[in-house]
Amino acid sequence: MTNQYDVIVVGGGHNGLVCATYLARDGRKVLVLEAENHFGGAAKTREIAPGFKISAGAHLLTMLNPEVRKDMRLDEHGLKFAAKDLKTIALAEDGEHISIHGDAISGGDITAKDQAAMKDFHKTMLRFSKLLASAFRNRPPKLVEGDWHDRINLLKLGLGMRMLGREDMRELMRVGLINVYDVLHERFDSELLKGALSLDGLLGSHMAPRSPNTVLGYLYRRLGDLWGYRGPSLPEGGMGAVGLAMANSAKSMGVELRSNSAVVSINTESGRTTGVTLQGGEVLEAGIVISNADPKNTFQKLVGIRNIETDFSRRVENIRMQGNVAKLHLALDGLPEFVGVSASDIGQRLVIAPDMDYVERAFNPSKYGELCEAPILEIIIPSVHDTSLAPDGKHVLSAVVQYAPYSLKAGWENEKDRFKAIVIDLLEQYSPGIKAKIITSELLSPLDVEREFYMTGGHWHHGEISFDQILMMRGAYGSNQYATPIDGLYLCGAGAHPGGNVMGLAGRNAAKEVMKRGAAA
């Protein structure tokens, strides 16, 4: 086995695999080093009890970029779907639920006025999202010292804005700078609808409906709609199947994949990378190292602060990436029933966010390092669609739980069981009898997320998606076009433009940037 490569990718998350595949396709000799025993990063399926499998991190595929999917031939490499275009069911305690599917809403207290408003709102949001979609396909342009690529990209962005027309442009400037709470209040009457819609602007973030940047979060989430998904989908075999198909694709292009290979340092000499050292001391050489790890992990742990200049190191330290999400996993001795949810809807995306004030109140304690007593939940029972996930007649439930602050004052070791009980009690309110069906339960705190997925702060986007951390501001100024202040070292993960979720564009764009700069980098 050789220890010399053209490119070493640190981390076999989905973005690392995408990046490696594009570069191998371009003729590079590429090695991917993954600390864990599986590929896909937080797109991972694992057992919680014998025969019960859950998607341990990401649990819904909402915005896998279709170009990445096609280029990597993921369908040929085994990616299949157990369910597609799921509806969102906004749960009401009295069973008067609302169903949301693209721009169609029905049920509960939904009026014809709200239905018409939704059509208009959806259309407007998609027009605005288009601007993001075009900016996300390219490296973010530098504003001042950019080259002709940057100027073209900036021009495209400007042109996209102009094409919106005066009224839309004015509206975009207005809503972009307020918050999803005000925007939804202006448009809709149903509190339950507004509660559920607001989640699309803030899931995975340290934000609530009244926070700035939540409209940006909402537009970000709508990219999935632009790419042809009417709702989230469930890969057959759980989210790990995405990682598996990507790993197969990478291998087919000649990428060498090594699991159980934690990188302990990215090595540098005179300001340029020379390769990496693995736990255990093995040294591997490459002129180009691309990190799928988040920026803090990359620069503070793997490169080492002493090897980067002070200003850049401060900017990295200031990246906002405090996770505020926990994850509940249940193995169930039978299918639970939710009050008022029909058999055909039980496998849809169920959310508990009765109104926007409830969501805001759930967020408040987390600002002070405390837990809420009434969290919000995004629930999915994937075994309804995919019998490979649980033994016959049994089921698994996965729920994203907000808000659960990474820096919990009382300490997660002291509070985890209490919080798990709060979440399960909340579920019991909407699904009487579910408690009695629990065979095994597991709550991942943000600290557990950090440990299991190597995500600093347990932040699911490797850094907040906000105006101060998107486009040319993502990944900290100085590493915002994938290249970093260390020659030959690049970023390719969710902490780089355009950000997180299982999307693949950060990996694709990073590979394109490496190719553009040529082998010498």
Q: Which residues contribute to the site for ligand FAD (CB under 6 A)?
A: 10-16, 33-36, 41-43, 57-60, 62, 204, 262-263, 292-293, 297, 302, 325, 327, 400, 449, 453-455, 460-461, 493-494, 500-502, 506
Shorter beta-carbon distance to ligand FAD: residue 188 or 218: 218
CB of 279 to ligand FAD, least distance (A): 8
SS (H, E, C) 235-258: ECCCCHHHHHHHHHHHHHCCCEEE
Least distance from ligand FAD to the Cβ atom of residue 262, Å: 4
Nearer to ligand FAD (CB atom), residue 333 or residue 415: 415
Residue 474 tokens, joined: 């993502």
Q: How far is the CB of 327 from ligand FAD (least distance, A)?
A: 4
H helical segments located in 165-211: 166-177, 180-187, 191-199
Q: Which is nearer to ligand FAD, 22 or 460 (CB)?
A: 460
Computed on alpha carbons and rounded to an integer, the radius of gyration of the chain in Å comes to 22
Q: How far apart are CA 41 and CA 24, in angstroms?
A: 20
Smallest separation, CB 474 to ligand FAD (Å)? 12
CA 515/CA 517 separation, integer angstroms: 5
Point out which residues pair with 173 in neighbouring strands.
none
- The H or E element containing residue 23 is helix 14-25
Q: Which of 42/157 has CB closer to ligand FAD?
A: 42
Minimal distance, residue 501 CB to ligand FAD, in Å: 3
| Closest CB to ligand FAD among residues 30, 175 | 30
CB of 395 to ligand FAD, least distance (A): 18
Q: Which is nearer to ligand FAD, 201 or 500 (CB)?
A: 500
Minimum CB separation of residue 161 from ligand FAD in Å reads 27
- Nearest CA-CA partner of 375 in 415, 320, 433, 334: 415
Which pair of tokens denotes residue 166?
Answer: 């005066």
Distances (CA, A) of 332 to 13, 391, 394, 430: 29, 10, 6, 16
Q: Which is nearer to ligand FAD, 99 or 259 (CB)?
A: 259
Q: How many residues does the chain have?
A: 521
Least distance (Å) from ligand FAD to the CB of residue 319? 14
Minimum CB separation of residue 44 from ligand FAD in Å reads: 8
Measured between its terminal Cα atoms, the distance across the chain in Å is 25
* CB atoms inside a 10 Å sphere around CB 490: 27
Spatial contact of 40 and 13, defined as CB atoms under 8 Å apart:
yes
SS3 assignment, position 65: coil
Hey, CA dihedral for 215, 221, 225, 230, is it positive or negative? Answer: negative
Smallest separation, CB 48 to ligand FAD (Å): 14
192 or 401: whose CB is closer to ligand FAD? 401
β-bridge partners, 441: 330
Choose between 49 and 443: whose C-beta lies nearer to ligand FAD: 443
CA distance 56 to 48: 9
Sequence letter at residue 370: E
C-alpha–C-alpha distance, residues 238 and 168, integer Å: 39
The residue whose Cβ lies closest to ligand FAD is 13
Which CB, 108 or 457, lies closer to ligand FAD?
A: 457
